[in-house]
Structure 1
Amino acid sequence: MKATEFNPSEYFDSIYARPVILEAKKLSQVFKHGKNERTVLNQLDLKIHKREFICVIGPSGCGKSTFSRIVAGLDPYSSGALLVDGKAIEGPSPERGMVFQGYTLFPWKTVKENVMFGPLMKGASNASAEASAREWIDIIGLEKYENQYPHQLSGGMKQRVAIARALVNEPKILLMDEPFGALDPHTRQKMQKHLMDLWQNIDITIIFVTHDMDEAILLADRIVALKANPGEIKEIIEVDLPRPRNAELMLTPEFKRLRDRVDFLVHAQEDERDPALENLPKIPRMTQVSTSK
């Protein structure tokens, strides 16, 4: 039986027909230091639909992490509006889970105890929290490690526990801020596949911050490309590649076409470079060892 041919138009029509779960309206964030001000995010307008996988990408200083922290409710914003299901975000909530690049597990708690933490804070009984934790530990494939502590786990294992700890609360939105940035390439690739499998099988919207262009194309339905100084939406790219995706897809002309486009948006504008990298001073001679033969 011939596989159904992927139709990008139909795929994105189906996404846009879903309810809007997150909406930013003229969202701005201004950091103040004494008399100085720096606009990190400027007038962002964005609609994210239920069960979308969104990647946010851009040069250093464009406000990627700031945006994810604002959506998580960890930081306030300066002006505009940010709505989840039409209601304003007013601080952290279990409906928005967060996974950071750093391993933010409690080092004094076991894997099971780390995953149980959220349900217990929501008022679940110990038995109920343990049952939920075990379910998610099984899903991430760490049932043999449930009684081990974070220092006994590899980096990939720690991030799987962090993902389970976020998902056990059944959030509507999972925010991930460069969660695989510290992993080696092989582990990173395995985690990307595991995350795609999770997303395709549970009812969740993912907002994934990354600086890795290949990762963004491999994972996302749409890529939100930000420009820096100030952080504004430069373009939103529909990733018109069939799912499921794998590493072999990265060798195709279609993938290369998208990568060239994303690379241009992130790196090609000379006047939007990080100002801290402009006019770098000449390095003074500090050694007598020659680099020439």
Structure 2
Amino acid sequence: MTTELLKPEAFDAQQYFERIYARPVILEAKKLSQVFGTGKAQRTVLNQLDLKIHKREFICVIGPSGCGKSTFSRVVAGLDGYSSGEILVDGQPIHGPSPERGMVFQGYTLFPWKTVKENVMFGPKMKGQSHASAEAHAREWINIIGLEKYENHYPNELSGGMKQRVAIARALVNEPKILLMDEPFGALDPYTRQKMQRHLMDLWQNIDITIIFVTHDMDEAILLADRIVALKANPGEIKEIIEVDLPRPRSPELLLTPEFKRLRERVDFLVHAQEDELDPALENLPKIPRMTQVSTTK
């Protein structure tokens, strides 16, 4: 057998995205806008967003602070309303929260007075499942996230990574169509963050779920996403949608490749190119008066 035959099949990005776009559209935003305040205090956070997300896509949303990333995820979750336009799941308008759209936040939103098992059981019990049925479903997901030894522990007895795994299990136990994640790994140390990224990719590749993932971390967005939705600020609009044409499964070693660096440069340009899209409070920072006699030079 020749060396050529031992090589893995080359990744065909065009074919990969053709398969994605052939799937049904699970989420669609049509001219979606969100305006906060009135009069001179009025601020357009989302402006005329048009976006189609297909079933089982992994979408990352990036952009400068204040561009509306978290607002968009909260609107999709049904936690916030919107000013105009439409937001549809399977062609039906969103009216408030629903188990079909799970949400994982950056902060640890577990009930501190409930154990791991009780936290994960909460959703099924709210849907009317019996205690035994809810417990069985909870244990199934606790096993999937690898925390079966901790099912009777309370949140204050868990590490940050463990808490987020419980939060993910609590969202997925309801069998949502869409999982929304708003900076879920932002508070974790780099090592734990990498492990959580790999675990999330494994979950997504093995279950029937569409993920919308908000992040400030450009490397994270490229590592995880099928497509990256880059928003611009003031007002929040879609600046560009990038197809991540890198093969799966992906590992941290991918960050060292020329292909990854090429995408990284493009994403970095989209997020930081225009100064007027960044925090206006940073434009004219005052000169710091000298308040020490200790020299910074030798």
Normalized against structure 1, the TM-score is what?
0.98
- Deviation track 1:212-266 (CA, whole Å, cap 9, x = no partner) reads 0000000000000001111100000000000000011110000000000000000
Unaligned runs of 5+ in 1: none
Asked whether 1:237 is paired with 2:251, we answer no
Cα offset, 1:276, TM superposition:
1.7
Q: CA RMSD in A?
A: 1.0
Cα offset, 1:288, TM superposition:
3.5
**Partner amino acid, structure 1, of 2:77:** A
Asked whether 1:105 is paired with 2:119, we answer no
Structure-2 separation of matches of 1:108 and 1:81: 38
Structure 2 residue matching 1:206: 3-state secondary structure: strand
Identity level (%)? 87
**Partner amino acid, structure 1, of 2:140:** E
Aligned 1:213-252 pairs, distance under 5 A: 213-252=218-257
Structure 1 outlier segments of 4+, above 4 Å? none
**Partner amino acid, structure 1, of 2:126:** M
**Partner amino acid, structure 1, of 2:189:** D
Structure-1 separation of matches of 2:292 and 2:106: 37
Equivalence for 1:52: 57
Deviates further, 24-33 or 278-287: 278-287
Aligned 1:31-110 pairs, distance under 5 A: 31-32=36-37, 35-110=40-115
Contact 1:31 1:39 in 2 (8 A): yes
Asked whether 1:291 is paired with 2:265, we answer no
**Partner amino acid, structure 1, of 2:125:** L
Aligned 1:154-169 pairs, distance under 5 A: 154-169=159-174
**Partner amino acid, structure 1, of 2:195:** K
Structure 1 residue matching 2:181: 3-state secondary structure: strand
Structure-2 separation of matches of 1:276 and 1:67: 23
Contact 1:228 1:274 in 2 (8 A): no
Structure 1 residue matching 2:133: 3-state secondary structure: helix
Unaligned runs of 5+ in 2: 1-5
One of 251, 258, 265 as aligned partner of 2:263:
258
Cα offset, 1:35, TM superposition:
4.7
Cα offset, 1:272, TM superposition:
2.1
Deviates further, 270-279 or 196-205: 270-279
Cα offset, 1:191, TM superposition:
0.3
Asked whether 1:135 is paired with 2:140, we answer yes
Structure-2 separation of matches of 1:40 and 1:150: 34
One of 202, 207, 212 as aligned partner of 2:207:
202
Between the two proteins, the alignment pairs up a number of residues equal to: 293
Structure-1 separation of matches of 2:43 and 2:297: 44
Cα offset, 1:33, TM superposition:
5.3
Structure-2 separation of matches of 1:279 and 1:212: 26
